[in-house]
Amino acid sequence: MEHALRSLICRRAGDVCEYCRLPQAATRFIRFHVEHIIARQHGGATEPDNLALACGFCNFHKGPNIAALDPESGHLVALFHPRRDRWSDHFAWDGTVIVGRTAVGRATVQLLAMNDWERVELRENLQALGEPFAG
């Protein structure tokens, strides 16, 4: 990926994972990924409207998925789409835990394992150190 495109994506995201809101500065030695929201294997293009900044945790769990089951209803729903959806419409913070407010939010939280113990612990540590995170 060309440097200018990566810079645009990082700048637009404010150097924060567009899924879990982890700041890039929290993982200084691991560079965030520019990921395809709609994977290339599903016809997703490498263009700004289909690219998002994602931490390794979110990107590895998301993979090529574009939908997941809502754990509350059991229905298949589209995953959160950072270019079309507003984060605060689908997610809320409960301390350092991300809560899905909608079927899209719940399915995304579950599939991306946004609240696995390591991620919650990382957010707790950032909070204890007074480091900014979006919570």
Amino acid 13: pLDDT: 96
Q: Report, as an integer, the average pLDDT of 95-108.
A: 97
Q: What are phi and psi of 14, to 5 degrees?
A: 70, 30
Residue 133 maps to a domain: no
Range of the domain at 36: 3-128
Return the higher-pLDDT residue of 80 and 131. Answer: 80
Residue 82 maps to a domain: yes
Task: Kindly report the average pLDDT of the chain as a whole number.
Answer: 93
Query: For residues 87 and 45, what is the distance between their CA atoms, to the nearest angstrom?
Result: 22
Amino acid 2: pLDDT: 87
Amino acid 99: pLDDT: 98
pLDDT surpasses 60 at 51:
yes
Collapsing DSSP states into helix, strand and coil, what is residue 59? helix
Amino acid 46: pLDDT: 94
Residue 69 maps to a domain: yes
Residue 88 maps to a domain: yes
Residue 135 maps to a domain: no
Amino acid 26: pLDDT: 84
Query: For residues 80 and 84, what is the distance between their CA atoms, to the nearest angstrom?
Result: 8
Residue 44 maps to a domain: yes
User: What does the pLDDT look like over 53-77, one tens digit per residue?
Assistant: 999 999 999 999 999 999 999 999 9
Amino acid 21: pLDDT: 94
Strand partners, 99: 92
Residue 103 maps to a domain: yes
DSSP string across 78-90: EPP-TTTS-HHHH
Split at pLDDT 50, 70, 90, the class of 41 is very high
Q: In the chain, how many domains are there? A: 1
Amino acid 32: pLDDT: 95
pLDDT surpasses 80 at 28:
no
Residue 134 maps to a domain: no
**Helix, strand, coil distribution of the chain in percent, nearest 5:** 40, 20, 45
